[in-house]
Amino acid sequence: MIFSVELLSISSSSLLHWMIQPHLALHIPDGFLTLPVILVTWLLAIGLIAIALNRVQADYKERAVPLMGVCGAFIFAAQMINFPIPGGTSGHLLGGTLAGVLLGPWAGSLVMAAVFIVQSVLFQDGGLTVLGANITNMGLVGTFCGYYLYKAIRFALGRDTWRGMLAGTAVAAWASVFIAAMLTAVQLAFSETAPLGVAISALAFWHVLIGIGEAIITVIAVSFVWRSRPDLFFDPPRRAYSSASRSYTTR
């Protein structure tokens, strides 16, 4: 799962003020991105969501639909719990890697996109005009990067091994946070909201730490499913085939 630092007001008075306070966050509010950046991120989000819808309809069985609903509800509820972070702000869980591990990258990205849309519309968590950027950074890039990194590490260490699952989940959850943070920094820099070096420094410092918490929570959740219902994994261990049918057909 992915933590996200909630955004406070940004002051441009000095570089030191930028460096000390965690003003930059993954949930970008309205007014922080320029029109070209907004348009590009909206096109990316809409395009990937359209592809994901086609892939889910073609490749996933009906059994995946209730699992998507349960996973989305869990992630949405988990994101409502905020944790204090030094500097006067707070962080909360996101869940891109968890969604990818259980649902696969396509269905997982759809679930994350739906969660961010509801959060933005109903709870004003991130701006409406920049919703495409927030969905791209956390919902799409976070889920895809998290899933494929998890899969690479797990299969390298042993698809059916406990250590492969643990290492893959932990590293992927942490990395997905950091990658999303760096992408957010680049977008803010292109929009001249903050210098690139300042944006990277501020976001990297906090999200290196936040990623650790993300990894811990994700490992706990994934480990529980691994022990109780391994057949629910998008890439289940081979031992799961004998106890339950798979939720999906093709990759």
Q: How many CB atoms lie within 10 A of CB 43?
A: 12
Nearest partner of 82 among 123, 54, 48, 45, judged by Cα: 123
Residue 231 lies in a domain: yes
17: which 2 tokens? 């003020």
Mean pLDDT, rounded, of the chain: 82
pLDDT of 241 above 70: no
pLDDT class of 186 with cuts at 50, 70, 90: very high
Residue 99 lies in a domain: yes
Residue 14 lies in a domain: no
Residues 181-187, mean pLDDT to the nearest whole number? 91
pLDDT class of 246 with cuts at 50, 70, 90: very low
Q: Give the model confidence (pLDDT) of 20-64 as tens digits.
A: 344 455 788 888 999 999 999 999 999 999 999 999 887 777 767
Domain that residue 158 falls in: 19-242
Domain harbouring 65, CATH code: 1.10.1760.20
What pTM did the predictor assign?
0.82
Q: CB within 8 A of 10, min separation 6: which ones?
A: 23, 24, 32, 193, 194
Residue 13 lies in a domain: no
Residue 11 lies in a domain: no
Residue 46 lies in a domain: yes
Residue 2 lies in a domain: no
Residue 203 lies in a domain: yes
DSSP β-ladder status, 82-85 and 3-5:
unpaired
Q: CB of 116 within 8 A of CB of 138?
A: yes
| Whole-number Å distance between alpha carbons of 181 and 168 | 20
Look at the chain and report how many structural domains it folds into: 1
